[in-house]
A and B are shown apart, each in its own frame.
Chain A
Amino acid sequence: MDFGSTFFYKYRRFVKALKIYLLLAGPGLIVMLADNDAGGITTYTVTGAKYGYGLIWFLLLLLPVAYVVQEMTVRLGAVTKRGHAEAIFDAFGSFWGWFSFLDLALVNWLTLITEFIGMTAALAIFHVPPVITIIIVSIVMMLMVLQGRYWTWEKIAILFAALNLIYIPAAFLVHPSVSEVISVGLIPHFPGGFNGTLFFFLMANIGTTIAPWMIFFQQSAVVDKGMKEKDIPWGQMDTLIGSAFTVIVAIFLVVVAGTVLYGSEVESAAQAAAIMMGTNPWLGTFIAIGLFDAGFLGAICISLASSWAFGEVFGWAHSLNLKIREAPWFYACYLFALVSAGTVVLIPNAPLVLITLFVQVIAVTLLPAALVFLILLLNNEEIMGKYRNTTLQNMAGATIVIAIIVLSTLYGITTLFPELLV
């Protein structure tokens, strides 16, 4: 074949592969970009403000961590056609099933409150009252699911996920020194020496990378999308691309915060956006929009993860492909989660800071169990057949799971007892 024919053949193959990918992409991309939720955005902003570019290398390490854990949910969902909540009930019995399910429902609801806090704080910068934000967000989120097709929901969610990339142009607005980003950011070191505060920040960044809801969400999404065993490689690629995006977004946000806010005491992304608004309105606007989008994306995934789990456990119809009359309890759960979490944010003097801290502590009670169950399920030949974990996958998975359990536990404990850091 001449060069032209070879090129055309390869081009056609690439286009075909791209079309299949775009058809099957979704759960991995959405869950990974939703991983950068309101809490995650705050963590990265505060990390950048505190340590500049100094911890970018650490964020790169989180890419394989996120991928290895979430990839297992793709295989488990595609092979068993069951969500994670149902899989735990089935494999480990009702005790562990109820524990995981009830803990998930509580953690998700509390996390949903933090997403609403993020969204209201972001739009407050544009003088939008919290009550308006919550009403509009709840309506949009209900409309997204009520159209009765998973595919449509997924493509709308991907659009919102794409908005998460707003931190990339934001980084170009602040004109960071690329050589400094590379020399300071990419060489592993502990800025200011290894101490309790730095350890807390490392743990917080890991804590925001893997959350219990992500495991439940992606597995249920894979099932609802109808992915089969033959689609697993595409699901893995989707998860890998999503993992890369989530780390890229995190790095660009750290670059923004590290350039503009380095050395200043910042406690939240909303506060950072307000500060930036005063110096560079475009930058402040980008950060605020990004924070709102992060909260929104987190909220749609978390509320769906809960609704799917309720449906799986109670045996209710639970699919975005069903109309409201076909799956009334599924949509009722979704609506209740939104309305109740939104209402809490509007209660005057509600202990929102306490809730945010409480989320981190309660998540620590569920994450190890969810991860251990994941590894055990992926090793069961009766359930997984030829898709069970290989030795290499087990080594990587077990190392990462043990590291996450240890660090997230320490994170929870230091959140509970901050005096231990001194």
Chain B
Amino acid sequence: MVTIESIFGTRIGGVIRGWTDKITEINQKYAKPRIKMSRGVKIALLFLRVYLVLLVILLGYKFWTLLR
């Protein structure tokens, strides 16, 4: 079985493993949002997602025009 340690060696692999375990632990700790998902909160979060997607598209477009 391929593990992080087998790819990066015991020392570096151990450090990476520690980090991934920590990130997993954080994700589990905060898996459930504490705030009640009311209609207002849902709309606000949806707005943020749409806003960020549009910004990423704009940044991507700028990057593409620079490369061109």
Seen from chain A, the residues whose Cβ lies within 8 Å of a Cβ on chain B are 89-94, 96-97, 99, 313-315, 361, 364-365, 368-369, 372, 375-377, 380, 382-383, 409, 412-413, 416-417
Residues of B that sit less than 8 Å from A by CB:
22, 26-27, 29-36, 40-41, 44-45, 47-48, 51-52, 55, 58-59, 62
Shortest Cβ gap from B10 to chain A (Å): 22
Further contacts, 19 of them, CB under 8 A, given A89-B26, A93-B30, A365-B52: A91-B35, A92-B33, A92-B45, A93-B32, A94-B26, A94-B27, A94-B31, A96-B45, A314-B22, A314-B26, A368-B48, A368-B51, A372-B47, A376-B40, A376-B41, A377-B35, A380-B36, A382-B34, A409-B51
Contact A92 B35 (CB under 8 A): yes
CB distance from A409 to the nearest CB of B (A): 8
28 contacts across the A-B interface (CB closer than 8 A): A89-B30, A90-B30, A91-B33, A91-B34, A92-B35, A92-B45, A93-B30, A93-B32, A97-B26, A313-B26, A315-B26, A365-B55, A368-B48, A368-B51, A369-B48, A376-B40, A376-B41, A377-B35, A380-B35, A380-B36, A382-B34, A383-B35, A409-B55, A413-B58, A416-B58, A416-B59, A416-B62, A417-B62
Bound-complex Cα distance A99 to B31 (A): 14
CB contacts (< 8 Å) of A96 on chain B: these are: 45, 48
B29 neighbours in A (Cβ, 8 Å): 89
Which residues from B are CB-within-8-Å of A364? 55
Complex interface: chain B residues within 8 A of A375 (CB): 44
Most buried by B among A94, A372, A382, A409: A94
A359 to chain B, nearest CB (A): 14
Contact yes or no, A93 B33, CB < 8 A: yes
**Closest partner residue, chain B, to A365 (CB atom):** B55
CB distance from B29 to the nearest CB of A (A): 8
**Which residues from chain A contact B32 at a C-beta distance below 8 Å?**
93
Residues of A within 8 A of B35 (CB): 91-92, 376-377, 380, 383
Cα distance A129–B39 when bound, in Å?
57
CB nearest to A93 among chain B residues: B33
A-side contacts of B36, CB under 8 Å = 380, 382
B31 touches A93 (CB 8 A): yes
Closest to B22 in A: A314
List the B side residues contacting A369 at CB < 8 Å.
48, 52
The CA-CA distance from A62 to B62 in the complex, in Å, is 31
Assembled-state Cα–Cα distance A383/B33 (Å): 13
Task: Choose among A91, A92, A97, A380 the residue with the greatest number of B CB atoms under 10 Å from its CB.
Answer: A92
Question: CB-nearest residue of chain A relative to B65?
Answer: A417
Residues from chain A with Cβ under 8 Å of B48 in the complex: 96, 368-369, 372
A376 to B31, CA, bound (A): 19
Min C-beta distance of A17 to chain B, whole Å: 37
What's the nearest-Cβ distance from chain B to residue A152, in Å? 31
A89: nearest chain-B partner, CB-CB:
B30
B contact residues around A372 at 8 Å (CB): 44, 47-48
Docked Cα-Cα span, A368 to B54, in Å, equals 13
Chain A's nearest CB lies how many Å from the CB of B12? 18
Q: Give min CB distance, B28 to chain A, whole Å.
A: 9
Which residues from A are CB-within-8-Å of B47? 372
Which residues of the other chain, A, contact B51 by a CB distance below 8 angstroms? Answer: 368, 409
In the complex the two chains form, what is the Cα distance from A365 to B48 in whole Å? 9
B30 CB contacts on chain A under 8 angstroms: 89-90, 93-94, 97
Residues of A within 8 A of B62 (CB): 416-417
Chain A CB within 10 A, most for which of B29, B34, B41:
B34
The one of A90, A314, A315, A417 in contact with B34, judged by C-beta atoms closer than 8 angstroms, is A90
B47 nearest in chain A by CB position? A372
Which residues of the other chain, B, contact A97 by a CB distance below 8 angstroms?
26, 30
Which of chain A's residues have a CB closer than 8 A to the CB of B33?
A: 91-93
A416 to B32, CA, bound (A): 36
Tell me, in angstroms, the Cα distance from A365 to B41 when the chains sit together.
19
CB neighbours (8 Å) of A377 from chain B are 35
Query: How far apart sit A413 and B51, CA to CA, in the bound complex (Å)?
Result: 13
A93 and B27 CA atoms in complex are apart in Å by 8
Q: How far is the CA of A361 from the CA of B48 in the complex (A)?
A: 16
CB-nearest residue of chain A relative to B55? Answer: A365
The smallest C-beta distance from A87 to any residue of chain B, in angstroms, reads: 9
B-chain residues with CB within 8 Å of residue A90 when the two chains form the complex: 30, 34
B residues in contact with A417, CB < 8 Å: 62
Q: Contacts of B55 on A, CB cut-off 8 Å? A: 364-365, 409, 412
